[in-house]
Amino acid sequence: MQKKLQLLLLFSMVFMLFQCSDSATTSHDVFDVTPTNNSEILFEEINPEPIKLDSIESSYEGFATFQDDQIQFVDTRLGKIFHFDQQGNHLETHLGQGEGPREIPDPAIQFYSPLPEGGHLFIGSGNNVYFFNEDYEREDMFIINWDRQAPPEVLAKNPDPTDHGSYNFGYSFGTVRVSGNHLYFPLESGPPEHTDFNFSTDLYAEQARVLARINLNDGTAEELLGRLSPVFSENENLRLFSHLHYDLIDGQTLALTYKPDPLIYLADTDFTIKEAFGRPGREMNTEYQPLPRQAEGQNFRQYMIEQFTERGFYTSLNYVEERDLLFRSYRRGDGVGKDGLQVYKDQTLIGDVDVPRPDGADPTSFFSFAGYNAPYFYSNAMIDDSDMSITVYRFKLEE
């Protein structure tokens, strides 16, 4: 019995040591790799062809996807999916808000992802996850079990980067990805009362987690993964842009980039960084300004608007399985009429081209990759508020 107690005590001490070590691991520890910056430019321009989608009864808030040879527009406010052919002609409309078997019982769609075996996954407000089959019939739903270990008032006084309650879901940016029985979900800075652990603090820059891994069988948030890259602890002026863009390669490798960081990182699904590579986008305005002394109220809102409209930053990262390419889009900032798109193959930059920034487009509606149907690549929806229109671009890449 004595020996068993000693062994149990030893195992407990080792476990606690591992836990403490993991919680104290900083961004510099996680991103301890030597980057490369290989470049072999194969093309210097593309010719995006605009496709204006038919007028629809929509809120004109949402994004485009491309599946089954069709352009699809997901209306996040009305909970509808509009299908179009490749010339922009409206074909059919699915879902909508309601309690019926082909409706979404939720006031908004926050995220959408196709399921690997067919069908659709939607995430609504309140952490509700809905599963629909290929015919848009609702088959299941659950509420994400977001395990808050400490009450908010305790976390406000004693920040804990390992506690789920320290974070919000990144509804305002990013994407979700499904791999096997797991859903990967972006995280962002927690409640405003967490004054010692938010995007502006050193602790957040060094130890914040950036992804949640959720079990699709029972809705449990199993793990909080990753860190912000070291640029945020090295330069406080970048911290407003503490957002991650990512995609999955073959369901096994995470491709990662951060809004102000010129590097792209490859990691396994436990966020062990394996490689780093990349080159800065062309003509990006990177004169990021310091946070105002009182980062609240109108003062902060004005600062945020100015930084996101005047500065350059990376806006998306997408892997194109059919061509084994990695696309990274970026905004250049005010004063430059077009934005940019980088194309990487085997960790080598093979193209950095101009892409449209249409007049009147929503400033958060950036050019990014939405889907591929040979020989065309299709962009995300560019929504023009001035005439309530939706335009998708398509283009070819001839390597």
Measure the CA–CA gap between 71 and 377, rounded to whole angstroms.
11
pLDDT in the model for residue 302: 83
CB-based contacts of 363: which residues, under 8 Å, 6+ apart?
A: 308, 309
Measure the CA–CA gap between 202 and 200, rounded to whole angstroms.
7
* Residue bearing the bigger pLDDT, 251 or 301: 251
Q: Please tell me which of 24-28, 171-175, 234-238, 293-297 the model is most confident about, judged by mean pLDDT.
A: 234-238
* pLDDT of 86 strictly over 70: yes
* Residue bearing the bigger pLDDT, 147 or 40: 40
The domain limits of the chain are 24-395
pLDDT in the model for residue 20: 43
24-395: CATH topology: Neuraminidase (2.120.10)
* Range 365-381 average pLDDT: 92
Phi, psi of 37 (to 5 degrees): -140, 45
pLDDT in the model for residue 194: 74
Q: What is the largest CA-CA distance in the chain?
A: 79
Convert the pLDDT of each residue in 252-276 to its tens digit. Answer: 999 999 999 999 999 999 999 999 9
* Residue bearing the bigger pLDDT, 29 or 330: 330
pTM: 0.90
**163-168 own/partner pairs: CB under 8 Å, 24+ apart:** 164/212, 164/221, 164/224, 165/190, 166/190, 166/194, 166/197, 166/208, 167/208, 167/209, 167/212, 167/224
Average pLDDT, the chain: 88
pLDDT in the model for residue 21: 43
Nearest alpha carbon to residue 106 among 151, 143, 62: 143
* pLDDT of 319 strictly over 90: yes
* Range 66-94 average pLDDT: 95
Convert the pLDDT of each residue in 323-349 to its tens digit. Answer: 999 999 999 988 778 999 999 999 999
* pLDDT of 90 strictly over 70: yes
pLDDT in the model for residue 235: 96
Convert the pLDDT of each residue in 3-27 to its tens digit. Answer: 434 433 333 333 333 344 455 688 8
pLDDT in the model for residue 362: 55
Nearest alpha carbon to residue 242 among 280, 281, 190: 190
**384 pLDDT tier (thresholds 50, 70, 90):** confident
pLDDT in the model for residue 98: 95
* Range 220-241 average pLDDT: 94
CA 288, 348, 259 angle in degrees (round to 5)? Answer: 25
Q: Which residues pair with 35 in a beta bridge?
A: none
Using the structure block, give the residue that is written with the tokens 């009147």.
Answer: 360
